[in-house]
Structure 1
Amino acid sequence: MRSLLIAASISALLTGCGDTVVPDSRLIIGATLITMEDGPAPTAMLIEDGKIVSLGTEDELRARNPGVILTDLTGKTVIPGVVDSHVHVRELGMDAIKVDLVGVKTVDDIVARLRDQRPDVPAGDWIIGQGWDEGAFADAGGPGGYPTTEAITVAFPDNPVALESLHGFGAMANAAALARAGINADTPDPEGGTILRGEDGEATGVLLTLAQALLFDVVPDLDQDQIEAAIKAGLTQMAAAGVTSVHEAGMEAEDVAAFKALAERGELPIRVFGMLNGNDAELMAQWFDSGPLDDPEDWLDIGGIKVFYDGSLGSRTALMRDPYSDQPDAARPTARIALEDVERLGENAREHGFQMAVHAIGDAGNDFIMTSYERRLAPDAAGEVPDHRWRIEHAQVVRPDFAERAAALGVIASMQPSHAMGDSDWAEDRVGRRRIQRAYSWKTFQDAGVPIIFNSDLPGEPWEPMQTLHFAVTRTKLDGSPEGGWYATEALDRRDSLRAMTMSGAHAAFQDNTLGSLAEGKWADFVVLSDNPLTAANIPDIHVDAVYVAGELIVAPTTDTPD
């Protein structure tokens, strides 16, 4: 049973009904239906066996289907299930065992959070946290722009402390954790990573990009039961917010095993499209041998390759063509994988039917990846270009010709409205007035014909769909700042933004024939909202009243009555 909250039994309601009831059949009436398809808006939707079989007026569908069970949603709005097309759901589900550091401003704030949330940790046990903003902390002063972790060492001398950053491009560790990891003045920087050091050469406790592996390789691993529990917890949270399908970005081997086990037991509450960790050569060799996983029921498909290429803008590790505008000496632009390895992955992806999805933040990083795509997606001997749907994840800062090149090749820009708002306090400082005009450029991309998908990249920034929609259409934070929006000309309108969160997300996973809109023959995945997101005065105030996946109510009961 996939339901999270099961509606009351309707068997009693059927007693005495004069007409024959079609099993697993219901008619949705009363709601405003936003189908995301072209054409007149229907007023009723008929569902049978988990799929939408007809859309039209209430009168005509009731006349053709006497005795059907009615779900009256008068006053509500129904939208297609949201496709969050770039997530890290295991990390979301693991938040229960991590100290929440979102919003901290200083190392002293971190210490206060750790003490508050982990007051009685036995000596020697690890303390794990997540959420300090590497972009904000990079301006806090100290070696490389970052503060030292001395205060954490003083507060927790007997516990190793490992703290992941908000976007995954930095880590903090106290002295006990550095000792467990064997990191000291003699430890060389690993390729693609940096150990920040003081004047004495000793590690300050801040590790950037691939140097984090030195720390997290010694943090105790979760077992498969724990991973499965974290995945289910994360998916359940997302379902409650109106997400019915996710694209899991960067599956490790143990994640694949956990997702497969949950799918085989029918325990995935919502749908998953998996993107494998392309930086893991051994994992990719196995999957190139076996080929993609295509589930005809669309509960678990694995057909993408997520590659981490450069770093992040906040930590000054993204690859930029010209120096950073602020503290260029503190910048450490990083390629987390060699470009020739990306090239080989692309060649194998095309041969074996996988989709490429490469993380690129800086203008040089995006340019390198676009050039690689242009080579790998060149027409074949017959002059044909495959239906590749390859993606660039983030595409934050780009060169002037990027949009034209992406549109010509049909490369999808996978973008996060929350990142623009989260980065808005410091992004212009990093790249300067000229380059910021080519950053977070949603409207520019759309006008050039670039396919766009909007997603959350959770956990980290606010990720619920109505929050994402708010960021996309207003370019303001949840508190409404800055007034008038941050570079508001790059906002998209409400319908286009919602399409980027539904139809376009399904298309990006080759699932547009079955998901992403309310249309005949597609799965009955839909969300019941308290208000219309296309007209509501304040989008974040809209709440989710119910969620259906394959016609089954999984979040919040509704009242059913027989016709």
Structure 2
Amino acid sequence: MTIRSLIYSALLILSPQVLANPTAITNVKGYHIIPDGGLQQFDTLVFEQGKVLANGNAELLKRYPNATVVDGQGQTLLPGLTDAHGHLLGLGENLMQVDLRGLPSEKAAVAKVKSYQASNPSLNWIVGRGWNQVLWPGKAFPTASQLDEFIPDKPVWLERVDGHAAWVNSKALQLAGIGKDTLDPPGGQIIRDDKGNPTGVLIDNAMWLVAEHLPKSDAAMMQASLKAAIEHLLSLGITSMHDAGVDQKTYDFYQQQAKDGQLQVRIYGMLSAADPKLKEMLEAGPFQDTEDMLWVRSVKAFADGALGSRGAAMLEAYSDDTHNHGLLLTSEEDLPALFELVLGKGFQLNVHAIGDRGNRLVLDNFAQAYDKVGGQSFRNRIEHAQVVSLEDIPRFKDLNIIASMQPVHATSDMNMAEDRIGKERLKGAYAWQTFLKQGTVLAAGSDFPVELANAFHGLHAAVTRQDHEGKPPGGWIPAERLSVEQALRAFTLDAAYAAHQEKVLGNLESGKWADFILIDRNIFEVPNTEIWQTQVLQTWIAGQQQFQRAE
């Protein structure tokens, strides 16, 4: 045994308190939101055994003379960011698949798929995500034939950027038995040519016709996806995320990972309402591990589809497709029983609703369920709440519904939203400031991997409503912009509130977990147009550094 190891062993035996000495990070520009006082600044943060002891000025160091002092070198310090709506394993899988995000044409997408297939010849399926026909010349949906030219003998599955449509080749259609006579499933649509033949694009519930044939995730794949996703989120300063739709397999996997101490990002899991074992999972009751790395006490359900694929359920037909009112992914007849089941078991219910009809149905069902089984105090949420009738917006406040919204959706959708729904319906669309002014809690996220997981892109979108090139000048529907303080609150304290976690997360008050980040610029001082360029230098969770950006 070396002299160093002997000394270390002696310290462990004789002086365990040495290891419990607090740590103080000083010389920082610290910011967090406190519930009744708004934005608070500090230059020193003291924590011990994973929890915050105090924050304030450098005088704090006199109160903790035994603290290990870390010089923050004038960097900006924020609470760890929370993404209130994402898909963790989906992100990990996406990081290992062909990424078609932002490509300017169908031809470019096909070329990237071809290159990916050539680099991965052993794969039985070619799987990817991110295409968006709105960015392409003509804005038309792609077809199977374009993939068939280069990949005729392996099935191809490519999800649209919003996850509400799939582009497949003929081999995949063949494997699923989809032909001219195949009926559209409820809540889904098989896009067809003028002769009735499937073109290769499947909308919403029609996706399952092929998805059920995809290779099933095994334990090794889930582990790899989790590792890739966590590493990515830590590099972006995201210390907590709300996982929107956890099936039983993932539910069991997360619990085991938490028990084994393998989670490095906090997960607030929403059980999938579509899982056949939903009742069984509800009967098991809420789950919360002792380190607050995993909470499960909510359910994620779907009302409708997405705007980009014209699957969002609208009260009136789409402006650019006058015979189409969108899709309900859960039938109107099935909604009441679902609401009563979830709320009756004491779980928070978080429902995906994008179109104005989808949002109205969800609000109606919350009102009816409250009368029958209660649950109004559960902080129930509408996920996305993108297009809401002006007369329905006040009902969010009346029914105590949290608006769980993703700022980057507005800047991604602004190039097509008016085409889809016209100028009049935009008055209730992406209405962040309108919700806040009436007292509705706004929880912010990204919906990764639909969008990039970078929360600073979300903060930028929230305060500018512009793309990264500063377009449009002044911002898209600028009256709905947020202040930097409002946006930070939505990504920290109010995101924690939306998960019933505001007493342990969301800011850096005494007694809460010491989850924080150091970043390369002061988002309260730089021009708002530069916020998206922010780089995370360090990420700390429970007082332990989990990420350090390379020099």
TM-score bracket relative to the smaller structure: over 0.9
Per the TM alignment, residue 96 of structure 1 is displaced from its structure 2 partner at its CA by 3.8
Q: TM-score, normalised by structure 1?
A: 0.90
Aligned residue identity for 1:338: S
Which residue matches 1:353? 346
**Cα distance in 1 for residues equivalent to 2:48 and 2:433:** 39
Structure 1 SS opposite 2:362:
helix
Give the alignment of 1:191-202 within 5 angstroms: 191-202=186-197
Per the TM alignment, residue 134 of structure 1 is displaced from its structure 2 partner at its CA by 5.5
Which residue matches 1:27? 24
Aligned residue identity for 1:447: K
**Cα distance in 2 for residues equivalent to 1:294 and 1:155:** 49
Q: 1:540 aligns with which of 529, 532, 550?
A: 532
Q: 2:223 aligns with which of 221, 225, 228?
A: 228
**Cα distance in 2 for residues equivalent to 1:348 and 1:294:** 21
Per the TM alignment, residue 491 of structure 1 is displaced from its structure 2 partner at its CA by 0.5
Aligned residue identity for 1:491: R
Give the alignment of 1:84-95 within 5 angstroms: 84-95=83-94
**Cα distance in 1 for residues equivalent to 2:137 and 2:379:** 35
Alpha carbons of 1:138 and 1:213: their partners in 2 closer, same or farther (altered >3 Å)?
A: farther
1:509 pairs with 2:509: no
**Cα distance in 2 for residues equivalent to 1:140 and 1:332:** 19
Per the TM alignment, residue 232 of structure 1 is displaced from its structure 2 partner at its CA by 2.2
Which residue matches 1:17? none
Alpha carbons of 1:71 and 1:322: their partners in 2 closer, same or farther (altered >3 Å)?
A: same
Alpha carbons of 1:550 and 1:558: their partners in 2 closer, same or farther (altered >3 Å)?
A: farther
8 Å Cα contact 1:343-1:372 kept in structure 2: yes
Which residue matches 2:442? 452
Structure 2 SS opposite 1:108:
helix
Give the alignment of 1:290-439 within 5 angstroms: 290-329=284-323, 331=324, 333-378=326-371, 386-439=376-429
**Cα distance in 2 for residues equivalent to 1:121 and 1:50:** 43
8 Å Cα contact 2:22-2:66 kept in structure 1: no
Aligned residue identity for 1:128: V
After superposing on structure 2, the runs of 4+ consecutive aligned residues of structure 1 that deviate more than 4 Å are 120-124, 134-139
Per the TM alignment, residue 557 of structure 1 is displaced from its structure 2 partner at its CA by 7.8
Per the TM alignment, residue 140 of structure 1 is displaced from its structure 2 partner at its CA by 2.8
Aligned residue identity for 1:333: G
Which residue matches 2:277? 283
Structure 2 SS opposite 1:155:
coil
Structure 2 SS opposite 1:130:
strand
1:556 pairs with 2:542: no
Alpha carbons of 1:66 and 1:332: their partners in 2 closer, same or farther (altered >3 Å)?
A: same
**Cα distance in 1 for residues equivalent to 2:107 and 2:525:** 43
1:238 pairs with 2:230: no
Per the TM alignment, residue 21 of structure 1 is displaced from its structure 2 partner at its CA by 4.7
Q: Which runs of 5+ in 1 are unaligned?
A: 1-10, 15-19
Give the alignment of 1:148-297 within 5 angstroms: 148-280=143-275, 282-297=276-291
Q: Which runs of 5+ in 2 are unaligned?
A: 1-7, 12-16
Give the alignment of 1:47-196 within 5 angstroms: 47-59=47-59, 61-122=60-121, 125-133=124-132, 136=135, 140-141=139-140, 146-196=141-191
Q: TM-score, normalised by structure 2?
A: 0.92
Which residue matches 1:7? none
**Cα distance in 1 for residues equivalent to 2:120 and 2:233:** 30
Aligned residue identity for 2:343: R
8 Å Cα contact 2:75-2:520 kept in structure 1: yes
Per the TM alignment, residue 135 of structure 1 is displaced from its structure 2 partner at its CA by 5.0
Alpha carbons of 1:267 and 1:385: their partners in 2 closer, same or farther (altered >3 Å)?
A: closer
8 Å Cα contact 1:124-1:158 kept in structure 2: no
Per the TM alignment, residue 166 of structure 1 is displaced from its structure 2 partner at its CA by 0.6
8 Å Cα contact 1:232-1:269 kept in structure 2: no
8 Å Cα contact 2:155-2:169 kept in structure 1: yes
**Cα distance in 2 for residues equivalent to 1:134 and 1:356:** 32
8 Å Cα contact 2:21-2:66 kept in structure 1: no
8 Å Cα contact 1:134-1:315 kept in structure 2: no
8 Å Cα contact 2:106-2:136 kept in structure 1: no
Per the TM alignment, residue 480 of structure 1 is displaced from its structure 2 partner at its CA by 1.3
**Cα distance in 1 for residues equivalent to 2:394 and 2:258:** 40
Per the TM alignment, residue 315 of structure 1 is displaced from its structure 2 partner at its CA by 1.0
**Cα distance in 1 for residues equivalent to 2:123 and 2:357:** 44
Per the TM alignment, residue 535 of structure 1 is displaced from its structure 2 partner at its CA by 1.8
Alpha carbons of 1:352 and 1:426: their partners in 2 closer, same or farther (altered >3 Å)?
A: same
**Cα distance in 2 for residues equivalent to 1:515 and 1:378:** 32
8 Å Cα contact 1:123-1:159 kept in structure 2: no
Q: CA offsets, 1:358-384, max 9 Å, x none? A: 00011011011011111222497xxx8
Q: CA offsets, 1:70-109, max 9 Å, x none? A: 0111311111111101001111111243111111243322
8 Å Cα contact 1:135-1:313 kept in structure 2: no
Structure 2 SS opposite 1:47:
strand
Alpha carbons of 1:379 and 1:70: their partners in 2 closer, same or farther (altered >3 Å)?
A: farther
Structure 1 SS opposite 2:428:
coil
1:521 pairs with 2:511: yes
Higher relative contact order (CA 8 A, sep 6+): 1
**Cα distance in 2 for residues equivalent to 1:50 and 1:203:** 56
* More displaced 10-residue stretch of structure 1: 507-516 or 40-49: 40-49
**Cα distance in 2 for residues equivalent to 1:489 and 1:503:** 23
Alpha carbons of 1:70 and 1:113: their partners in 2 closer, same or farther (altered >3 Å)?
A: same
Q: CA offsets, 1:240-298, max 9 Å, x none? A: 10000000000112211221222121111110000011122x22111221111122321
